[in-house]
A and B are shown apart, each in its own frame.
Chain A
Amino acid sequence: ILNVEQSPQSLHVQEGDSTNFTCSFPSSNFYALHWYRWETAKSPEALFVMTLNGDEKKKGRISATLNTKEGYSYLYIKGSQPEDSATYLCATVPGSQGNLIFGKGTKLSVKP
């Protein structure tokens, strides 16, 4: 059974702070890693799908890196805004079966 670990579980920051979260996963049999943002009462929204070791992706103030050899991914948010408050989920795709295995998420709260 694969375990996807996310840290921290929750995070409280002030508006304007930059922050980052970690997603750890078994490096063997890796196929892809997904990051999702899930705001309360809304649909989880895909942020990034990453497959290559060393990959870096950016969307506005949010970026992510991937290290498949050591089994981790970082998600960075630059200059956090209250609208960034959400739970950030990462999920791995082992092998090529296509099933996402999710971590428990990191809940971010940004205070104005």
Chain B
Amino acid sequence: EAGVAQSPRYKIIEKRQSVAFWCNPISGHATLYWYQQILGQGPKLLIQFQNNGVVDDSQLPKDRFSAERLKGVDSTLKIQPAKLEDSAVYLCASSLDLSGKGGEQFFGPGTRLTVL
């Protein structure tokens, strides 16, 4: 079974530029998550999708971050414009749990973003 795929793996941009990350979850997984992991911190949930609907985006900085999951499969996370404090690893995860209630999550390898 293929795992969660993410691209790119690494990205370096200058502040005020835009960047987009892509995630392909495990086939059949209804729930998809985007996490931000800043160095020295634990991963923090940015947004949770169930199929193509948003379940929780309470911690997404909506003035600069946006995410979509068209057709309930792949997802993209965009930052526009980027700030220095956005430097982090962006993890995508998916879960088979249709209820979205605490089931095991399967993570991709992450995208490491550096904002200069």
Could you tell me which A residues sit within 8 Å of B by CB distance? 4, 31-32, 34, 36, 41-46, 49, 51, 89, 91, 93, 96-105
Whose C-beta in chain A lies nearest to the C-beta of B109? A43
A98 touches B44 (CB 8 A): no
Q: Write out the residue numbers on chain A whose beta carbons fall within 8 Å of the beta carbon of B108.
A: 43
B89 to chain A, nearest CB (A): 10
Q: State how many residues of chain B have any CB contact under 8 Å with chain A.
A: 27
Q: Write out the residue numbers on chain A whose beta carbons fall within 8 Å of the beta carbon of B99.
A: 98
Q: Write out the residue numbers on chain A whose beta carbons fall within 8 Å of the beta carbon of B56.
A: 97, 99
A15 to chain B, nearest CB (A): 27
Could you tell me which B residues sit within 8 Å of A by CB distance? 3-4, 31, 40-45, 48, 55-56, 91, 95, 97, 99-110
Q: Name the one of A43, A51, A99 contacting B45, with C-beta atoms under 8 angstroms.
A: A99
B45 touches A100 (CB 8 A): yes
Tell me the complex Cα distance, A51–B43, Å: 21
Tell me the complex Cα distance, A42–B104, Å: 18
A105 touches B42 (CB 8 A): yes
A96 touches B91 (CB 8 A): no
Could you list 9 examples of A-B contacts with CB < 8 Å? A34-B102, A34-B104, A34-B105, A41-B109, A43-B109, A44-B91, A51-B102, A104-B41, A104-B42
Q: Given A42-B109, A43-B108, A102-B42 in contact, is the A93-B3 Cβ separation under 8 Å? A: no
